[in-house]
Chains A and B, each alone.
Chain A
Amino acid sequence: MSKVTEKYPLDTSEQRLTVKDPHPRHDTQGDMDEHERLRRAMANFAKNMNRTTATYMEACVHCGQCAEACHYYVATEDPKYTPIWKLEIFKQAYKRETSPFGFFYRLFGLKRDLSIEQLGEWQELIYDSCTMCGRCSLICPMGIDIATLVGQARHGMFKAGLIPDELHEVAQRAKEEGSPLGATASVFEDRAEWMADEHDTEVYVDEDEADILVAMSSIEIMKYPNAIGATAKVLNALGEKWTFRTEGYEATNFGMMAGNTEWQKAATMKLINAAINCGAKLVVLPECGHAYGALRWQGAAMYGKPLPFKVQHISEFLADVISSGRLKVKKVDQTVTFHDPCQVARRGGATEAPRVVMDALGVNLKEMAPTGDFNWCCGGGGGVVTIHRADKLRYKVFELKMEQVEASGADTVLSTCSNCRQSYNDAKEHFQWDKDMESLLELVADNLVE
């Protein structure tokens, strides 16, 4: 008589009959033993510990309220998705190694040393189930910015070679080829030329001098290239002296999302050098959430001094030129709702900009509930959309978004992040849903007053 393990009970509730999800298996990179992985994980987590992050590590009272803000917990009610729990092993390591009473913890063995199994288990919590959307940071009664701590934990995980393979792969491609998705400089030039023809407009590339440097996200270049034409149409309508530069045309920063500070810096420096090389006074970033955070808020730290130019997300730029009367748009008879990209709105402070633009377009805006700074994440940020094993969970949390959109009564969803758009369209296909997500920039470009 055969013995059947109960470790993985049968799951007959799904279309595909199998056993229930086994314990999440983790990926590894590099050739190092377990001790070395552990040492690297903790050393690199602690390396970037500063007064702010140390204060955050000390402030938690385990009230658990952050769970109520997290789309992963709310959608699944699985307590392991409680945001501060995602940092539990790092908190333990901090207390043991760096905290004011670390000596006592070590002397009396009060905080156990971490194991490689724990780190592997936490890979899912740090990468697959956190988009660093920062909703938890808004709810925390202690004011802990949990998303920042998750970013720091990723530094440790990357150095230990413990990140999801897909995210590592795209981050490495970005470092070596200039794009996580194969949008190399020559591919970009081809696309720029194509979009110039398609939109019957001038697309400037590698101009020696320009007031404005523009960058795109690889997702736009490869999947939504109309963004190139739309940006060009807007800037040309304004009569701006602008350019793309092939040494810095791509604004995404997968090094940052993967947790590799060196790769993050390399990507950021490409944009900074491109702007300096053409004498740009302003860098306009594309419809991409994390690209905005990477340059607008973290760029100066990577550069080591204040940036010698201004940085705007395209939605801020559009709001400014529309508010000042420099750009005129036609009225659009459309009922829409707006998805706020977390890194631009909640984490970036540009929540009102797209609403100024939509107001000028005269669309019938039906806000989601909650909206603006409290809007639910699309579930694909922070590199999560690249991770295949996270798909099922991502679709589950996307149900929150679908409920929001349906309840708004709008026909179309507008947004200003191509990563959100990609996640949204992928989930739309998965659920065979009928609601489209469109680009606000493209809507503006299609409705310019000539």
Chain B
Amino acid sequence: MGFYNSPNLRKLTMDLLDFARGPALQVAALIFVAGLIWRLLHLFLTQKKTDISEARQSGSVGGGLRAIFSRFRHHEPFRKRTRNGTILAYTIHIGLAIVVLGSAPHILFIESFSGLGWSPMPNVVIHFAAALTLAALLTSLGRRMSHPVLKMLSNFDDYFTWLVTTLPVATGLMAVAHVGARYELLLAIHILSFNVFLIWFPFGKLMHSFIAIGSRYTTGVTFTRRGAKV
């Protein structure tokens, strides 16, 4: 009987898996939602300063909404100098979106609590996207540790956020490839790593997923009022 087939270990593994997708996930989701609400509420409760200068032009709300989308791409004069960072960022974000929203098990998971389901993407696409995302994440870490500007700016949040983002991708790939341990154990670790991701989300820079919308909108409104470039 091999090590991985020991009945005790199998039971332990199943217990861990049940824990990961049961109470651990519930607690993580609770912290995620509560933290998210508190962080956003804190911003909304902060005093709003109203701009009472005479606007050069109307349509500032439209300008704010446009800014949410236009800042997905740099203005032309900046593109050359920001190319590497932009390519890495897009690879990571698009790769994660494909893996999270395109893979069958993830869709089943989303369907289990939201009731929303859709057709999965082919496995080959998911696996390729996950591998590319992992490569981009590793490259981004190397870049963060070596680029003078990024190295100087980086703090615990940057590295820990990188870790909690990379672990689910790496463990997911390992589980699919059955590399390193039993599938159930790898799956349990994958789900646990996702739980850590959820718990960290409201505390660190992963919140940019929400706050960037407000930040872009605000700047869009301000500079549209002035008739300036957004």
Q: Could you say which of A4-12, A52-60, A250-258 contacts chain B?
A: A52-60
Q: Could you say which of A29-37, A78-86, A116-124, A356-364 contacts chain B?
A: A78-86
Inside 8 A of B216's CB, which chain A residues have their CB? 142-143
Q: Is the CB of B203 within 8 A of A296?
A: no
Q: Is the CB of B228 within 8 A of A347?
A: yes
Partner of A69, one of B72, B78, B211: B78
Check: B147 CB closer than 8 A to any chain A CB: yes
Check: A107 CB closer than 8 A to any chain B CB: no
| Contact A297/B226 with A63-B89, A142-B216, A143-B219 known, Cβ cut-off 8 Å | yes
Closest A residue by C-beta to B81: A68
Q: Is the CB of A55 within 8 A of B43?
A: yes
Closest A residue by C-beta to B42: A100
| Contact A59/B215 with A85-B152, A301-B52, A374-B75 known, Cβ cut-off 8 Å | yes
User: What's the A-B contact tally at a CB cutoff of 8 Å?
Assistant: 165
Partner of B155, one of A55, A62, A82: A62
Among B186-230, those with CB < 8 Å from A are 203, 205, 207-208, 211-212, 214-220, 222-223, 226-229
Check: A128 CB closer than 8 A to any chain B CB: no
Check: B154 CB closer than 8 A to any chain A CB: yes
CB distance from A56 to the nearest CB of B (A): 6
Inside 8 A of A67's CB, which chain B residues have their CB? 149
Tell me, in angstroms, the Cα distance from A445 to B55 when the chains sit together: 29
Tell me, in angstroms, the Cα distance from A393 to B224 when the chains sit together: 33
| Contact A370/B85 with A62-B158, A79-B149 known, Cβ cut-off 8 Å | no
Q: Is the CB of A145 within 8 A of B152?
A: no
Check: A327 CB closer than 8 A to any chain B CB: no
Tell me, in angstroms, the Cα distance from A137 to B222 when the chains sit together: 12
Partner of B53, one of A56, A59, A79, A296: A296
Closest A residue by C-beta to B222: A145
- Chain A's interface size range is 35 or more
CB distance from B61 to the nearest CB of A (A): 15
Check: A237 CB closer than 8 A to any chain B CB: no
Among A135-161, those with CB < 8 Å from B are 137-145
Inside 8 A of B145's CB, which chain A residues have their CB? none
CB distance from A101 to the nearest CB of B (A): 6
Closest B residue by C-beta to A371: B77
Q: Is the CB of B152 within 8 A of A61?
A: no
Task: Identify 27 residue pairs between A and B in the complex whose beta-carbon atoms are under 8 Å apart, listed by A's number.
Answer: A50-B48, A51-B218, A58-B211, A61-B205, A61-B208, A62-B154, A62-B157, A62-B158, A63-B85, A69-B78, A80-B152, A82-B149, A85-B153, A100-B39, A138-B75, A141-B74, A143-B67, A143-B71, A143-B218, A297-B53, A300-B53, A300-B54, A307-B53, A311-B54, A349-B56, A349-B227, A372-B229
